[in-house]
């Protein structure tokens, strides 16, 4: 009988091992060490600091640090959106085959940019990032977006690495959400969930699914924790919200035309 052949995972993937693929789908995230070489990381750090300096001067950035009490007022997580539109080096990184090969293993051969941003958690007063599902903010349909969080410094529990509720992208499927898109049982799911820190060395990356619950703790260490997040989508994805920053669909429910802000990175744009 001639049917589609099911090749072993190892033969179908470009970059990830079968164990890494299984870990991603089981836990909702996977750490990939040494995805970028040290020369690229050094160049990225230079451009990163230049972009941050420009944003600080112009005021064109957000502070994403969680504000729970007055003591948090001095805390900072500097966020700069759509860095790929501000700097050619970051724009080039979108097309890096080392990253796209992993994304292709996770979402298939049609890949478009959803958006990208920098997250700079300074030493000693870096803030925490609240527990969330990325798709709470985006309401993207289908909810298949995948984030590649690239570490520019070694990130660990001391300087506020990412932490995840392992398996929450599966466990929360179909659960009721409130009018903000937040899971109604979010607090209970987090309290009872399998919380895991995801340490990653500079030049490595964590890939996570847009339904995996995650956040990060403050940075009280003497080391910076700099990261760059690139979020990938499948062409044809719709945006359920009109988000508050540039280069997004004009209206709720719109698709994303291929554009400078949302380039097609692999494959063809299916309509």
DSSP 172: T
Task: Out of 129, 198, 205, 224, point to the residue binding ligand AKG (CB under 6 A).
Answer: 129
Min separation Cβ 187 and ligand AKG, Å: 18
Question: Is 149 an interacting residue with respect to ligand AKG (CB under 6 A)?
Answer: yes
Give the separation between CA 236 and CA 239, rounded to whole angstroms.
10
Residue (of 40, 147, 161) closest to 102 by Cα position: 147
Considering the complex, state which of residue 132 and residue 267 has its C-beta at the smaller distance from ligand AKG. 132
Give the separation between CA 149 and CA 76, rounded to whole angstroms.
18
Min separation Cβ 134 and ligand AKG, Å: 5
Please name the residue that has the structure tokens 């009109």. Answer: 242
Question: Is 76 an interacting residue with respect to ligand AKG (CB under 6 A)?
Answer: no
Min separation Cβ 129 and ligand AKG, Å: 4
Considering the complex, state which of residue 13 and residue 80 has its C-beta at the smaller distance from ligand AKG. 80
Question: Is 61 an interacting residue with respect to ligand AKG (CB under 6 A)?
Answer: no
Question: Is 229 an interacting residue with respect to ligand AKG (CB under 6 A)?
Answer: yes
Residue (of 149, 179, 166) closest to 211 by Cα position: 166
Question: Is 119 an interacting residue with respect to ligand AKG (CB under 6 A)?
Answer: yes
Give the separation between CA 249 and CA 180, rounded to whole angstroms.
19
Considering the complex, state which of residue 216 and residue 237 has its C-beta at the smaller distance from ligand AKG. 216
User: Which residue's Cβ lies closest to ligand AKG?
Assistant: 216
Write the CB contacts of 247 (distance below 8 Å, at least 6 apart in sequence).
82, 85, 115, 259, 261, 262
Min separation Cβ 108 and ligand AKG, Å: 21
| Residue 192: burial class (beta carbons within 10 Å; 0-12, 13-18, 19+) | exposed
Tally of CB atoms within 10 A around 111? 22
Question: Is 216 an interacting residue with respect to ligand AKG (CB under 6 A)?
Answer: yes
Considering the complex, state which of residue 169 and residue 214 has its C-beta at the smaller distance from ligand AKG. 214
| Residue 124: burial class (beta carbons within 10 Å; 0-12, 13-18, 19+) | middle
Question: Is 134 an interacting residue with respect to ligand AKG (CB under 6 A)?
Answer: yes
Min separation Cβ 117 and ligand AKG, Å: 7
Which H/E stretch holds residue 238?
Answer: strand 238-239
* Residues 154-173: x where in contact with ligand AKG by CB under 6 A, - otherwise, as a string: --------x-----------
The residue ranges that bind ligand AKG (CB under 6 A) are: 119, 129, 134, 147, 149, 162, 214, 216, 227, 229
């Amino acid at each position: 009988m001639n049917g589609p052949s099911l090749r072993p995972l190892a033969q179908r993937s470009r970059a990830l091992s079968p164990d890494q693929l299984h870990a991603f789908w089981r836990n909702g995230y996977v750490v990939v060490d040494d995805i970028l070489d040290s020369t690229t990381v050094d160049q990225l750090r230079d451009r990163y600091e230049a972009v941050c300096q420009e944003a600080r001067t112009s005021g064109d950035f957000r502070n994403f640090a969680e504000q729970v009490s007055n003591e948090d007022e001095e805390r900072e997580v500097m966020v700069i959106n759509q860095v790929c539109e501000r700097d050619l080096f970051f724009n080039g990184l979108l097309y890096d085959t080392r990253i796209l090969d992993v994304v292709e293993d996770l979402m298939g051969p049609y890949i478009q940019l959803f958006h990208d941003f920098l997250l700079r958690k300074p030493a000693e007063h870096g803030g925490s990032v609240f527990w969330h599902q990325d798709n709470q903010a985006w309401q993207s349909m289908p909810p298949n977006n995948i984030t590649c969080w690239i570490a520019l410094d070694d990130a660990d529990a001391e300087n506020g690495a990412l932490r995840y509720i392992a398996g929450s992208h599966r466990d929360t499927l179909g659960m009721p959400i409130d009018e903000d898109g937040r899971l109604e049982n979010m607090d209970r799911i987090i309290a009872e969930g399998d919380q895991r820190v995801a340490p990653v060395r500079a030049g490595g990356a964590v890939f996570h699914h847009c339904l995996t619950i995650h956040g990060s703790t403050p940075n009280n260490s003497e080391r910076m924790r700099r990261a760059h997040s690139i979020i990938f989508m499948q062409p044809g994805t719709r945006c359920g919200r009109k988000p508050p920053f540039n280069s997004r669909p004009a209206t709720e429910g719109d698709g994303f035309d291929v554009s400078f802000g949302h380039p097609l990175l692999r494959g063809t744009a299916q309509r």
